[in-house]
Structure 1
Amino acid sequence: MTEPDQPSIAQTLFELRREHRELDALVTHLQATGFRDELQVTRMKKRKLLLKDAIARLESKLIPDLDA
């Protein structure tokens, strides 16, 4: 990976983590208030999982490759 890629990856990670936190807070709030649209909650949870996977992939790109 070249050096210029790291700032853009770091920015993307920041945005993905923020969206994940916001979704988590929203799901928690909706469940606590008795929101009953399970389909909507399920879609939010699925989006959270997709974000988590994307975050993990990008974090792995930031780890330098070591020659064995």
Structure 2
Amino acid sequence: MALSSHVQELRKKHQTLNDEVKEAHRSPSVDALRIAELKKQKLRLKEEIERLSR
């Protein structure tokens, strides 16, 4: 897999997680631990994207 396509795939995953976090905030049934885990995953992806984009 080419680096650019890998980065693009990571960006898609990041956006998907972003959407999940937004939806979780709107839903009172989602607990804070789940939201925190989604945010951690999102941050890890962001850091990986930044590292690969240099």
Residue 6 of structure 2 is aligned to residue 12 of structure 1: yes
For the residues of structure 2 that align with 1:42 and 1:33, how far apart are their CA atoms? 14
**Aligned residues, how many?**
54
Residue 27 of structure 2 is aligned to residue 33 of structure 1: yes
Larger Rg: 1
State the identity as a percent.
31
Match of 2:18 in 1: 24
Q: Which moved more, 1:21-30 or 1:31-40?
A: 31-40
Report how far residue 36 of structure 1 moved.
3.2
RMSD in angstroms over aligned alpha carbons?
Answer: 1.3
TM-score (norm 2): 0.89
Structure 1: unaligned runs, 5 residues or longer? 1-6, 61-68
- Larger fraction in helix: 2
Structure 2: unaligned runs, 5 residues or longer? none
